[in-house]
């Protein structure tokens, strides 16, 4: 309590220096520096929320000085401190009303706004991603989607970064069991790779990181289509076109999907046939073969496909 009282006394003393007095202009720069020093000391003492409040006061001073970079930095520091405080409370299972999380959200929001006003969309997008990642770690994927989406909107000049952010959106949709939404995102990502990605001269085949993203999206889309099993009348043309590539009736060795390894393509083709034939035993065997070749997320989707065949949920996943 003594430390808390000392903090309040010093905070008030610095705040008093900012009050307007007759024929005397407040020294805002000095106050900002003192708030910053107090924030550092409180952080060292592990009083994270108090340090965050000092950073907020520092941000207000920087705003008064029209120092936008300093304001954005102070707001970002405050947001991270509030977030750390929230994580500590959760680790201790302390009761609360998410007040530190709400404060962090507000600080991130203001910092992002400042960076946008400074015409620095990359910095703004990085904070959106940071907030999205934090919410996902806190088991709030539904809330994280909004911030990942905002990051995508800010990353129009950097296609690779935008695609990675879209991948995070798809992951969050899978975590919230919005499989149809995840399928739409993966389809959009594949289209974006073909439209904006680097391509081999004279072809429409993406190269480098774009090729890896196309391959990842292709596998996830096939697995999601097997999970959702949309009826033919509701199957979108782009999804029908994808499934046609894996149909044995139209199989042509020369028209194999070029962006997937041959073994993965053939195993996926077998998965599609096993699902169509409702051959659960073959599907289990294929799951074992595919397991080391897929990502954790894709293995989760494949597991759901197998489980749906063994014990149908009847919920129209």
State pLDDT tens for residues 281-308. Answer: 999 999 999 999 999 999 999 999 999 9
Query: In the prediction, which pLDDT does 316 show?
Result: 46
157: in domain: no
What is the band of 197 on the pLDDT scale with cuts at 50, 70, 90?
confident
Which is higher by pLDDT, 314 or 301?
Answer: 301
What is the band of 20 on the pLDDT scale with cuts at 50, 70, 90?
confident
What average pLDDT score do residues 91-119 get? 94
Query: In the prediction, which pLDDT does 24 show?
Result: 72
Provide the CATH number for the domain around residue 50: 1.25.40.10
Say if residue 217 is in the same domain as residue 251.
Answer: yes
Query: In the prediction, which pLDDT does 199 show?
Result: 74
CA atoms 284, 289, 295, 298: torsion sign: negative
What is the band of 206 on the pLDDT scale with cuts at 50, 70, 90?
confident
Query: In the prediction, which pLDDT does 205 show?
Result: 73
Instruction: Count structural domains, the chain.
Output: 2
What is the band of 311 on the pLDDT scale with cuts at 50, 70, 90?
confident
Say if residue 264 is in the same domain as residue 220.
Answer: yes
Whether residue 4 has pLDDT greater than 60:
no
Say if residue 176 is in the same domain as residue 264.
Answer: yes
Distance CA(62)–CA(58), nearest Å, equals 6
Whether residue 113 has pLDDT greater than 60:
yes
Distance CA(80)–CA(134), nearest Å, equals 10
Whether residue 249 has pLDDT greater than 70:
no
Say if residue 184 is in the same domain as residue 292.
Answer: yes
Query: In the prediction, which pLDDT does 217 show?
Result: 95
What average pLDDT score do residues 61-73 get? 96
182: in domain: yes
Say if residue 99 is in the same domain as residue 210.
Answer: no
272: in domain: yes
159: in domain: no
Say if residue 171 is in the same domain as residue 61.
Answer: no
Whether residue 198 has pLDDT greater than 80:
no
Query: In the prediction, which pLDDT does 235 show?
Result: 87
Put residue 12 in one of left, alpha, beta given phi > 0 → left and psi -120 to 50 → alpha: alpha
Q: What is the mean pLDDT of the chain?
A: 90
130: in domain: yes
Of 106, 125, 140, which one is at a domain's C-terminal end?
Answer: 140
Say if residue 123 is in the same domain as residue 221.
Answer: no
Residue 273 structural domain: 166-195+206-228+240-317
Say if residue 13 is in the same domain as residue 47.
Answer: yes
145: in domain: no
Q: What is the pLDDT of residues 128-187, one digit of tens each?
A: 999 999 999 999 999 999 999 999 999 999 999 999 999 999 999 999 999 999 999 999
147: in domain: no
Say if residue 172 is in the same domain as residue 30.
Answer: no
What average pLDDT score do residues 61-82 get? 97
In 3D, which of 269, 309, 307 has the Cα closest to residue 289? 269
Of 64-73, 135-144, 244-253, 266-275, the poorest mean pLDDT is in: 244-253
What is the band of 1 on the pLDDT scale with cuts at 50, 70, 90?
very low
Say if residue 101 is in the same domain as residue 217.
Answer: no
Say if residue 64 is in the same domain as residue 124.
Answer: yes
Whether residue 230 has pLDDT greater than 60:
yes
Say if residue 132 is in the same domain as residue 170.
Answer: no
Whether residue 244 has pLDDT greater than 90:
no
148: in domain: no
């Amino acid at each position: 309590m003594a430390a808390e009282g000392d903090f309040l006394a010093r905070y008030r003393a610095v705040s008093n220096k900012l009050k307007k007095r007759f024929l005397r202009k407040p020294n805002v720069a000095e106050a900002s520096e003192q708030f910053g020093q107090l924030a550092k000391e409180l952080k060292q003492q592990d009083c994270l929320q108090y340090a965050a409040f000092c950073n907020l006061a520092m941000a207000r001073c920087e705003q008064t000085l029209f120092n936008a970079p300093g304001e954005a930095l102070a707001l970002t520091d405050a947001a991270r401190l509030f977030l750390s405080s929230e994580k500590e409370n959760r680790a201790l299972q302390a009761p609360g009303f998410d007040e530190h999380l709400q404060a962090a959200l507000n600080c991130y929001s203001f910092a992002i706004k400042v960076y946008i006003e400074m015409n620095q969309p990359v910095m703004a997008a990085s904070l959106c991603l940071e907030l999205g990642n934090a919410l996902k770690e806190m088991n709030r994927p539904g809330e994280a989607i909004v911030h990942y989406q905002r990051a995508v909107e800010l990353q129009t000049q950097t296609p690779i970064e935008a695609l990675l952010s879209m991948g995070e959106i798809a992951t969050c949709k899978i975590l919230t069991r919005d499989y149809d939404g995840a399928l739409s995102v993966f389809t959009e990502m594949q289209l974006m790779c073909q439209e904006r990605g680097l391509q081999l001269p004279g072809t429409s085949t993406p190269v480098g990181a774009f090729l890896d993203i196309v391959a990842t999206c292709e596998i996830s889309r096939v697995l999601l289509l097997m999970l959702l099993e949309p009826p033919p009348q509701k199957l979108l043309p782009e999804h029908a076109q994808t499934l046609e590539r894996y149909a044995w009736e139209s199989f042509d060795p020369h028209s194999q999907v070029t962006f997937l390894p041959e073994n993965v393509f053939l195993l996926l083709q077998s998965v599609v046939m096993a699902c169509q034939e409702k051959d659960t035993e073959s599907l289990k065997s294929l799951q074992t073969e595919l397991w080391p070749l897929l990502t954790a997320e894709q293995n989760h989707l494949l597991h759901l496909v197998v489980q749906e065949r063994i014990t149908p949920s009847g919920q129209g996943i």
